[in-house]
């Protein structure tokens, strides 16, 4: 598995997206267009895509459908990106498909070189391989998350039966545009001629863009469906939804945050529309919602001290985190463990960190896009933040932050980058493995 992944990762990385679809389309054509062998629910937005994808997929699975799910990025293992019936694919299945498709991918690379084009990128190659895996399985439906944007994203060689939009805000501005409207235009590219559109709450200018793009029905939160009576309960959220086809009172899911209830409402209506505008049977929906998981999104991984992981990495995500902390955890004393990528809105994030956490430990993730701990610490300090530690290694930073939280009887919130969440989850797994050995 390692050798195959090294070959994939040697390709141009996924964050360096180029505005092109032809290479992925060519790859899929040579593979026999596997993306046409199953219906698709296609999901884009700025935040909440993966959580919404997971909720949609869990409901569909409870209804007895065999599901595929493609999401990105992964937190710990590559296999998390490609799931069958809710489980990451096993190494053997991936390696078998990779071995079959590798000669074809190399053929495409050669053709691209003849045309003066660069070889398939990591994300282009990975998307084509995933489509083939889902076709071979086979699946009844694919829940497909966009990588970046929409119009030029490799996943957009597929035609979604339902196009789903979580809240659109500013992120990846160097690639997608400087305004919410520019970003919305790019993301609206997933809407195809026959796509039904389901959207979370959006700015009026974004709604106008979605309606203009769509030739089919558009189902909007706050207009065609409604989220009601959201409250925190235990380590989860209780809420009610008036859907486009049915009413669903008093639902509960083990995911924290009112923004996650918004994602759940959007997911429910997306499933209704996928089913042809039919309501979801109550007994199936309640079981599915009670079993939903969304790793790295307000995920509680420790109780003493309380440790919460949330991969908020842009201003909108951090605002949702701050709101969730107030709503769900109240006035608990808190410490933040944070890291950022250098191509994000670091100045705004630094200000939000300073406001959110009375004490902050700063670190840096592995990779060329990482912002150094010292630079992030300086930015937080300049915003009036209280940096109590700065470490170049996540393992050391997490150990120190957890120790401080224990001594001060505080809750530890880990945020700022999904890559940080992944590294902390790895550290926790190491702890579990050591305890089992002892």
Alpha carbon distance 190, 165 (integer Å): 10
The pLDDT of residue 434 = 59
Alpha carbon distance 2, 337 (integer Å): 30
Alpha carbon distance 293, 252 (integer Å): 12
pLDDT in tens, 251-260: 999 999 999 9
Output DSSP code: residue 41.
E
Residue closest to 348 by CA, chosen among 308, 389, 397, 313: 313
For the chain, give the percent of residues with pLDDT over 70. Answer: 96
Residue closest to 298 by CA, chosen among 51, 41, 4, 27: 51
The pLDDT of residue 227 = 97
Token pair in block for residue 327: 């709503």
Q: φ, ψ for residue 396 (rounded to 5)?
A: -70, -40
DSSP 17-69: --S--HHHHHHHHHTT-GGGSS-EEEEE-SSSHHHHHHHHHHHHHHTT--EEE
For the chain, give the percent of residues with pLDDT over 90. Answer: 84
Residue identified by tokens 């545009």 is 177
pLDDT in tens, 408-417: 999 999 999 9
pLDDT in tens, 263-317: 999 999 999 999 999 999 999 999 999 999 999 999 999 999 999 999 988 888 8
The pLDDT of residue 13 = 85
Of 168-177, 266-275, 383-392, the least confident:
168-177
Residue identified by tokens 């969440």 is 421
Max alpha carbon distance in the chain (Å)? 63
Of 164-168, 325-329, 362-366, the least confident:
325-329
Alpha carbon distance 148, 432 (integer Å): 34
Does the pTM exceed 0.85? yes
Residue closest to 360 by CA, chosen among 345, 340, 331, 344: 340
- 173 has pLDDT over 70: no
Of 2-16, 223-237, 336-350, the least confident:
2-16
Whether 241 and 226 have beta carbons less than 8 Å apart is answered as yes
344 or 197: whose pLDDT is higher?
197
The pLDDT of residue 432 = 67
């Amino acid at each position: 598995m390692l050798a195959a992944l090294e070959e994939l990762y040697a390709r141009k990385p996924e964050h360096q997206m180029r505005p092109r679809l032809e290479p992925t389309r060519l790859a899929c054509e040579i593979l026999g267009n596997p993306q046409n062998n199953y219906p698709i629910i296609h999901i884009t937005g700025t935040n909440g895509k993966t959580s919404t994808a997971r909720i949609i997929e869990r409901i569909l699975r409870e209804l007895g459908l065999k599901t595929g799910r493609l999401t990105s990025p992964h937190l710990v293992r590559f296999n998390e990106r490609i799931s069958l019936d809710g489980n990451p694919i096993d190494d053997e299945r991936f390696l078998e498909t990779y071995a079959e498709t590798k000669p074809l991918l190399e053929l495409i690379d050669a053709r691209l070189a003849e045309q003066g084009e660069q070889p398939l990128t990591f994300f282009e190659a990975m998307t084509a391989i995933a489509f083939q895996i889902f076709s071979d399985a086979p699946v009844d439906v694919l829940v497909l998350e966009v990588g970046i944007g929409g119009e030029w994203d490799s996943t957009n060689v597929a035609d979604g039966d339902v196009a789903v939009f979580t809240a659109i805000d500013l992120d990846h501005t160097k690639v997608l545009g400087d305004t919410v409207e520019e970003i919305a235009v790019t993301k609206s590219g997933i809407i195809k001629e026959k796509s039904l559109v389901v959207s979370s709450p959006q700015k009026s200018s974004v709604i106008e863009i979605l309606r203009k793009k769509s030739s089919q029905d558009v189902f909007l939160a706050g207009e065609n469906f409604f989220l009601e009576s959201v409250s925190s309960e235990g380590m989860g959220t209780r809420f009610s939804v008036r859907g486009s086809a049915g009413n669903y009172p008093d639902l509960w899911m083990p995911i924290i945050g009112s923004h996650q209830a918004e994602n759940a409402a959007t997911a429910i209506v997306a499933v209704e529309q996928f089913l042809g505008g039919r309501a979801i049977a109550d007994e199936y929906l309640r079981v599915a919602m009670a079993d939903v998981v969304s790793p790295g999104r307000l995920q509680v991984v420790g109780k003493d001290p309380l440790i919460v992981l949330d991969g908020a990495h842009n201003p909108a995500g951090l605002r949702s985190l701050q709101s969730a902390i107030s709503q769900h955890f109240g006035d608990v004393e808190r410490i933040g463990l944070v890291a950022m990528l250098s191509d994000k809105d670091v100045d705004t994030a630094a200000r939000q960190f300073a406001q959110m956490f009375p004490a902050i430990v700063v670190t840096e993730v592995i990779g060329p896009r990482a912002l150094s701990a010292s630079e992030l610490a300086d930015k937080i300090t300049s915003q009036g933040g209280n940096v109590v530690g700065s470490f170049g290694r996540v393992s050391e930073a997490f150990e120190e932050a957890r120790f401080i939280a224990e001594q001060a009887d505080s809750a530890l919130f880990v945020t700022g980058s999904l890559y940080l969440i992944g590294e902390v989850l790895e550290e926790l797994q190491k702890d579990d493995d050591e305890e089992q050995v002892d």
